[in-house]
Amino acid sequence: MTVLELAAVTKVYPSQPPVTALRNVNLTIESGELVAIVGPSGSGKTTLLHLMGTLDRPTTGTVRVTGLDASAMTDRDVARLRATRIGFVFQQFFLAEHATVLDNVADGLLYAGTPHRERRELAAEALAAVDLPDRMDARPTQLSGGQRQRVAIARALIGRPAIVLADEPTGNLDRATGQSILALLDALHRGGTTILVITHDRDVAARMNRQVEMLDGVIVADTADQKGRAQS
């Protein structure tokens, strides 16, 4: 099943002067893939992630999430699509400092309309999946950077999204901690989660089965093409 499909996507930021951040991008991601997006700073990686995650709309072209055309939807319907099908992991952990770890994870389901009790049960499961079952009552400030990123990953996973989008998830971590986060993403992928990871680190990208390379807003290489996979 195709989880994400970008067709002829262009993004122009209406700044002064306007910036064309993506040009005619075509990209298809199938269920179960683990994909790295690589490229230098400014090549359009974060813009691409925001469009794939329906956080922003393309200037032209279409973005389909699990077959549904986000560009044809109202903001309200897009928000529901995002809440139920997409999980985000960012470089900054974006945790609520006053709330417990369990509530931070449970809040990942707030917009999906899941009842409170069930949210907390699912949050406990998600924390077990990221190897943090015993820190549920801690505050984020009591955790290490690596543990905070695990909480953020648990929150992204809790709604069982069709795809997890991660933007430089190891960017704020030391190397050893970054490696443990990558090992966790590998394990989640083996368990069937579809994951896309943005990185400027080629060693990180080399661990993934598929690498998509960006330069100046264009996809200049995609290892899926070399494997004879249909290019759409």
Query: What is the rounded CA–CA span in Å between residue 27 and residue 7?
Result: 7
DSSP element (H, E) containing 26: strand 19-30
Query: What is the rounded CA–CA span in Å between residue 47 and residue 13?
Result: 10
43 binds, among ligand ADP, Mg ion, none (CB under 5 to 8 A by kind): ligand ADP
CA distances from 54 to 184, 190, 213, 229 (A): 25, 26, 21, 25
With binding defined as CB under 6 A, does residue 41 bind ligand ADP?
yes
Within 10 angstroms of residue 30's Cβ, the number of other Cβ atoms is 15
Q: Give yes or no for a contact between 162 and 65, defined as CB atoms under 8 angstroms apart.
A: yes
Query: What is the rounded CA–CA span in Å between residue 31 and residue 154?
Result: 19
Residue 8 or residue 187: which is nearer to ligand ADP going by CB? 8
Q: How many residues bind ligand ADP (CB under 6 A)?
A: 12
Residue among 3, 6, 9, 21 that touches ligand ADP (CB under 6 A): 21
Applying CB under 5 A, the residues found at the interface with Mg ion are 45-46
Residue 41 or residue 141: which is nearer to ligand ADP going by CB? 41
Residue 51 or residue 78: which is nearer to ligand ADP going by CB? 51
Residue 64 or residue 200: which is nearer to Mg ion going by CB? 200
With binding defined as CB under 6 A, does residue 74 bind ligand ADP?
no
List interacting residues with ligand ADP (CB under 6 A).
13, 15, 19, 21, 39, 41-47
